[in-house]
Structure 1
Amino acid sequence: MSKLPEADDTVIRKRHESSILNQGADTLGQKTKVEKQVPNTTGKSDEKISDNDNGKNQQNSENRSANERNQGSSLFYIPKRLIVTFMLGLGLLLVYAMRTNVGVMVVMILDERAYEKVGTIDAVINIPRVNWDSRMVGFLHSIFYMGFLISQIPGAFLTTILPTHKLYGGCIFTSALLNILLPICIDNGQFSLVCCVRCVQGLAEGLLYPACYGILRHWTAPSERSRQVSAVLSCAYAGAIVGFPLAGIITHYLGWQYIFYTSGTVCIIWYLFWLFLIYEKPSHHKYISENEFEFMEKSQGADVIDYENVHVPWKSIITSLPVIAICVCHFLRYWIFVLMLTNEPLYLNEFGFTIAETGLYAAFPHIAKVVISFASGYIADSLLNYKWLSTGAVRKLLTGIGLGIQAVGFIVLTFVRSGSVVIIVLTITIGAFGLTTSGWSVNHYDLSTRYASSLVAVTSAVGSLGAIIVPLATGDLTMQQTVESWDSVFYLTSSLIAATVVFYLIFGSGEQQHWSNPPANICLIQKIDPLARKPYGTYSVQKNTADIKTETLVPRDSAINRPFNLYTVQGNIDSEDKNLGLGSAISNSNIDNTKKKSENEDNNDPDQRNHDVIPDMDKTTP
């Protein structure tokens, strides 16, 4: 095996030692100041790498500014975190645009005069020849979210053992293939077969949010998190902006089948781009700049580190009142969102609009929601960065205002009978929900960045109950298919909103929860990450005292193709403890010999540590 040039190895060593020192002080939850002298290899004065928790905000701001200046020198470099955010949002937009297909299609089934509301003979000929009522349609919508509910918790588990970006792309690809099959099933008139396909679609898309939050955990910095998360989640709302008008126009002029073919094909094309452009973590990205990588690494701290022997505290999560408060908000979110996504075209159809007009007007409320959702991210970040309000106060303020306006808006709809006025009131009512995107929706990261995927799996699973119930309730309450029959739906929705606001204002929180950090008195073994860009391994032993001893093992032949494992060991280590908890990959005798060798070489030239040898991983017990 060949050696890397000495200069390159030195640069890598500096970045690695800085990373280990920054992470070592934080992983046990202690406010410890660490200083390490970096070997002088450039002839300049020695520099110290320090990490002081009290000055993190100022350091992050300075690092961000330096990062932007350095990247500005490259005219064609686009920050990779922006590309990830864009592709994540585009995926959600396409998925939710695809979900509108069934909502527009059922208008053609339930409206007995649908043939008068399409624009071509082909569209008339293609009207579905099935005899379904509103209850059957409600069940068709509900069974999708039954599958969606079932796969939430398994999805959270899969994000801990499989690459989250592959889960995210794979679930969209699978749903797109099934969407293309739906017209064939509907044409055959097999209601049970259509329900089975919709259920499997829901199972596939149940992985969507756990995987999405898992990716954002690694690709968002705390100072930008509200903006990035709100931008991604806003794209889910934007799906209706694209889906409803497109579905209405295609159904009006071509036929309802083509909306399924178009949506599925576009999602498959997106998936091909996703495979080539996206990596799970910044440390895996081949083309990320050094400046952006260092900014992400320093700003995120230890929250993105995964450990072999730390498990998700499920019991603490499901019994936490702040988590339950988010669950209640998530239930309401799915209730309102699915009500509009699946039944808004039916409601507007009662005012005599054509299919194309119904699709166009149905998009207006979602346009307002997307705009307000984007704005809420900047509002939240401004309030937090300038420290005008605490995190909890910001989340409660935005959630309370957004839901309060909605509660009033649904009551107003029960008094309105003019189509144009209904569109205006509906736009304001649904648009106000965008404020909550930077309220409770981002609150998962406040409670626990480490377990954000698990949190969103739990809250989304509870929220899916709302998505299951609302189509069934709406189908039962609107059997008469009149404007007046919708009043009961709006009264019920307004009551749920009022109860949710009260519950969240009382029990919601913006503080990191005690179960978010690993226990303080156990040895932590960092997970192996063979795709990370650091080509050598380390182990770090942290004792009760403020001193942290770090041994860095660098292979003599550092150009080896397979990177060594990374171990981080923490806990109460005494002189009589013979098991350092490094796992079976490194024997105790090898560790003792390596430490003695390192201590002897420290007395000589510190640069000689470049020739320390990693124990042979292949010869040890697996």
Structure 2
Amino acid sequence: MFSAAATDSEAEEQSDRSPLLQDGAINDGNVASFPKKAQVPVCCSARYNLALLACFGFFVVYALRVNLSVALVEMVQANISIPIGNSTYACPEHPSSSGRAHNKTGKLHNWDADTQGWILGAFFYGYIVTQVPGGYLASRYGGKWLLGGGILLTAIFTLLTPIAADLGVGYLIAVRVLEGLGEGVSFPAMHAMWSSWAPPLERSKLLTISYAGSQLGTVVTLPLSGLICFHLDWTYVFYIFGSVGLLWFILWSWITSNTPETNKAISEEEKEYISASLKKQLSLTKTVPWGPMLKSMPLWAIVVAHFSYNWTFYTLLTLLPTYMKDILRIHIQENGFLSALPYLGCWLVMISVGQIADYLRENQVFSTATVRKMCTLIGMIGPAVFLLAAGYTGCDYTLAVVFLTISSSLGGFSMSGFNINHVDIAPSYAGILLGITNSFATIPGMVGPVIGKSLTHYNTIEEWQTVFYISAAINVFGALFFTIFGKGVVQDWALGTHHSHTN
């Protein structure tokens, strides 16, 4: 199966490498007259400033998304998720668990396991709606205000979450759906911006820096939410992170621009470098080739991989704090820290692999297609193996956390795999493509928590093993599908010609 990742035709290999810049831009066999890459600085450059601010933005995106996963543990009456007659825990309480902090004022709610599953999944019912429209609007009008406005709305609704929860579960679900609508445009809008900002040889670096903010947001939010719940109150989780979202929006509005041409701080050398590097990769037509696009197997390879990866990702993202509490019996103060470890590992791997992936492509060690497939295989099959192993650690919480951390860390490889492959195969329509793939990839977020909660009514280790088996199987299937059908070159339909031989 791996051989399929490395057997692109000679023509595709050459097409893969030809637009990549080394000492200059390739223009019909001649070197274009613009500064060499070595002369275009990385430090303080406009494109890397955009990457860092985008990183902060996706930090906020995931902070506003995952804070409920920890807060919900404290919002619900103790043991409410365990049916009467089955209230014995699978594992003994962890000795360092110190109990609930005193003098809390946040209201506790009698929500059963199924209700909690619907609350956790509600976000994604809004999230799926704005994926494709967000990608289309960003590709046509730019992603700056679409991304900024979406996160601003999410921050406002986050601030209103405690009020909604006190009014009733229906109001809380409605607020979470509205937050999903706001965040649904974030990834497609950012992909659309990168199609104008990221030189081909720097795509892995720039995109992994920006999207690594999602992992960093999870790393910080999970433990910090636990500490806030323990020392203050669960309501402050939403007040604090909602305020951080407002701060980011001010910075984003002030500093960023849709394209290099409209950026006031960019140097002429950097602007020319970016423009020349993308000259032969962007479509000359404004009409979206919906037919050839939706018939393209490389696109559907990304769809399947994205769906499969997100099933495991969202299952852990929403249910890991519950697993820590109900199975491993770790208190909320430790729960957040230990739940964050897998995402800390993923963040470190994501950043490192992004650098390595572009090094391999720049030095023509492997083609783009081969790099994307290698990263996808490691980033999806590796997590599946260690996720299954975590389910068989029993009550050894140390080993369980180690395996879950390794599983999520290896997932960081996939960011340099299928996750940014949209920009490889269709830079002009990258935002729309991500909207399409992320629409399918949102379905696991909608149904995963509900299925996970429905399979763990009694909170036994065997029930959680079933949850892990399902996630691992889906992950492996997605990795193999992308390995067979994924591509690494710009498709003909993305350049305005509809006779693509790579579909």
> Does the TM-score normalized on the shorter chain lie above 0.5?
yes
1:111 and 1:187 map into 2 onto residues whose CA distance is 14
Q: 1:282 aligns with which of 234, 256, 260?
A: 260
Residue 121 of structure 1 corresponds to which residue in structure 2?
A: 102
Task: After TM superposition, list the pairs within 5 Å mapping 1:73-112 onto structure 2.
Answer: 78-110=44-76, 112=78
Partner AA of 2:355 in structure 1: Y
Distance 1:318 1:141, change over 3 A: farther
1:169 and 1:316 map into 2 onto residues whose CA distance is 31
Q: 2:219 aligns with which of 241, 255, 274?
A: 241
Task: Give CA-to-partner distance per residue, 1:70-116, whole Å, 9 cap, x none.
Answer: x9xxxxx82111111111111001110121221012212456269x8
Deviation at 1:232, TM superposition (A): 1.3
Deviation at 1:481, TM superposition (A): 2.4
Residue 571 of structure 1 corresponds to which residue in structure 2?
A: none
**Contact between 2:309 and 2:478, CA under 8 Å: does it hold in 1?**
no
Is 2:126 aligned against 1:141?
no
Is 2:41 aligned against 1:63?
no
Task: Give CA-to-partner distance per residue, 1:45-64, whole Å, 9 cap, x none.
Answer: xxxx99733355x977x621
Deviation at 1:303, TM superposition (A): 3.6
Is 2:328 aligned against 1:347?
no
Larger RCO (CA under 8 A, 6+ residues apart)? 2
Task: After TM superposition, list the pairs within 5 Å mapping 1:590-609 onto structure 2.
Answer: none
1:270 and 1:191 map into 2 onto residues whose CA distance is 29
Q: Secondary structure at the match of 1:450?
A: helix
Partner AA of 1:508 in structure 2: G
Q: 2:161 aligns with which of 182, 185, 189?
A: 182
2:411 and 2:334 map into 1 onto residues whose CA distance is 24
Residue 505 of structure 1 corresponds to which residue in structure 2?
A: 483
Residue 52 of structure 1 corresponds to which residue in structure 2?
A: 27
Residue 430 of structure 1 corresponds to which residue in structure 2?
A: 408
Partner AA of 2:29 in structure 1: N
1:50 and 1:265 map into 2 onto residues whose CA distance is 44
Residue 369 of structure 1 corresponds to which residue in structure 2?
A: 346
Root-mean-square deviation over aligned CA pairs: 2.2
Is 2:288 aligned against 1:312?
yes
Task: Give CA-to-partner distance per residue, 1:532-552, whole Å, 9 cap, x none.
Answer: xxxxxxxxxxxxxxxxxxxxx
Q: 1:154 aligns with which of 127, 133, 150?
A: 133
1:130 and 1:482 map into 2 onto residues whose CA distance is 23
1:118 and 1:296 map into 2 onto residues whose CA distance is 56
Residue 537 of structure 1 corresponds to which residue in structure 2?
A: none
Distance 1:244 1:53, change over 3 A: same
Q: 1:322 aligns with which of 284, 289, 298?
A: 298
Deviation at 1:287, TM superposition (A): 2.1
Residue 301 of structure 1 corresponds to which residue in structure 2?
A: 279
**Contact between 2:76 and 2:108, CA under 8 Å: does it hold in 1?**
no
Deviates more, 1:464-473 or 1:311-320: 311-320
1:206 and 1:176 map into 2 onto residues whose CA distance is 13
Deviation at 1:160, TM superposition (A): 3.5
**Contact between 2:188 and 2:432, CA under 8 Å: does it hold in 1?**
yes
Residue 407 of structure 1 corresponds to which residue in structure 2?
A: 384
2:306 and 2:498 map into 1 onto residues whose CA distance is 32
**Contact between 1:117 and 1:355, CA under 8 Å: does it hold in 2?**
no
2:301 and 2:283 map into 1 onto residues whose CA distance is 27
2:161 and 2:376 map into 1 onto residues whose CA distance is 37
**Contact between 1:335 and 1:467, CA under 8 Å: does it hold in 2?**
yes
Q: Secondary structure at the match of 1:279?
A: coil
Distance 1:492 1:371, change over 3 A: same
Deviation at 1:67, TM superposition (A): 2.6
Distance 1:446 1:369, change over 3 A: same
Larger radius of gyration: 1
Residue 5 of structure 2 corresponds to which residue in structure 1?
A: none
Residue 471 of structure 2 corresponds to which residue in structure 1?
A: 493
**Contact between 1:318 and 1:458, CA under 8 Å: does it hold in 2?**
no
Deviation at 1:191, TM superposition (A): 1.1
Residue 371 of structure 2 corresponds to which residue in structure 1?
A: 394
**Contact between 1:117 and 1:252, CA under 8 Å: does it hold in 2?**
no
**Contact between 2:305 and 2:418, CA under 8 Å: does it hold in 1?**
yes
Task: After TM superposition, list the pairs within 5 Å mapping 1:603-618 onto structure 2.
Answer: none
Q: Secondary structure at the match of 1:121?
A: coil
Q: How many residues align?
A: 459
**Contact between 2:342 and 2:408, CA under 8 Å: does it hold in 1?**
yes
2:291 and 2:330 map into 1 onto residues whose CA distance is 51
2:228 and 2:211 map into 1 onto residues whose CA distance is 26
Distance 1:93 1:454, change over 3 A: same
1:139 and 1:108 map into 2 onto residues whose CA distance is 17
1:312 and 1:257 map into 2 onto residues whose CA distance is 45
Deviation at 1:474, TM superposition (A): 0.4
1:371 and 1:487 map into 2 onto residues whose CA distance is 27
1:262 and 1:321 map into 2 onto residues whose CA distance is 44
Residue 566 of structure 1 corresponds to which residue in structure 2?
A: none
Task: After TM superposition, list the pairs within 5 Å mapping 1:250-269 onto structure 2.
Answer: 250-269=228-247
Residue 224 of structure 1 corresponds to which residue in structure 2?
A: 202
Task: Give CA-to-partner distance per residue, 1:324-365, whole Å, 9 cap, x none.
Answer: 110011112221221122111001112121111000111111
Distance 1:339 1:55, change over 3 A: farther
Deviation at 1:118, TM superposition (A): 4.9
Residue 149 of structure 2 corresponds to which residue in structure 1?
A: 170
Partner AA of 1:220 in structure 2: A
**Contact between 1:118 and 1:252, CA under 8 Å: does it hold in 2?**
no
**Contact between 1:327 and 1:460, CA under 8 Å: does it hold in 2?**
yes
Structure 1 residue runs of 5 or longer lacking an equivalent are 1-28, 30-48, 72-76, 522-622
Partner AA of 1:208 in structure 2: S
Deviation at 1:120, TM superposition (A): 2.9
Distance 1:117 1:207, change over 3 A: farther
